[in-house]
Copies of this chain bind each other. A is one copy, B any other.
Amino acid sequence: MDLVSSLDPAIATRLKRDADGLVPAVVQDVESRDVLMVGWMDDEALHRTLTTGRGTFWSRSRQEYWVKGETSGHTQAVREVRLDCDGDTLLVLVDQSGPACHTGERTCFDADRLL
């Protein structure tokens, strides 16, 4: 995960990563404004997201990169990427094609309401 990344150094210096070199990336639907999911990005995943326009994440469980929709076809066309005031969280605005959740739900937050 700590490979040399091609991420723009001007961005890389503003990123505050956790101990694993990751930041959470909140993915929001640009149309419905629903929060769809949260993924994790290292420098390389962010670089790929910014340059390919496809939501690209680091899987903490599988320890590999994954592109949203690569297997399901439910792709995320990236419209906007923002870094928060502390530099430790990303907000990614996307055009989501089909359900965002691997369970088939529209969002990953649809199924379990605590309050």
- Chain A residues with a Cβ under 8 A of chain B: 11, 14, 19, 24, 26, 28, 33-35, 37-38, 46, 50, 78, 80-87, 89-91, 101-103, 105, 108-115
Knowing A24-B24, A33-B33, A35-B35, the reply to whether A115 touches B81 (Cβ < 8 A) is yes
25 CB < 8 A contacts A-B: A19-B19, A24-B38, A24-B89, A26-B26, A26-B35, A33-B33, A35-B35, A35-B91, A38-B84, A38-B89, A80-B115, A81-B113, A81-B115, A83-B114, A84-B109, A85-B101, A85-B102, A85-B103, A85-B105, A85-B108, A85-B111, A87-B112, A89-B108, A89-B109, A90-B114
Going nearest first, the 7 A-B pairs with the smallest beta carbon separation are A33-B33, A81-B115, A84-B108, A82-B109, A83-B112, A81-B114, A91-B109
Q: Which residue of B lies closest to A114 (CB)?
A: B81
Q: Contacts A35-B35, A35-B91 given; indicate if A84 touches B113 (C-beta within 8 A).
A: no
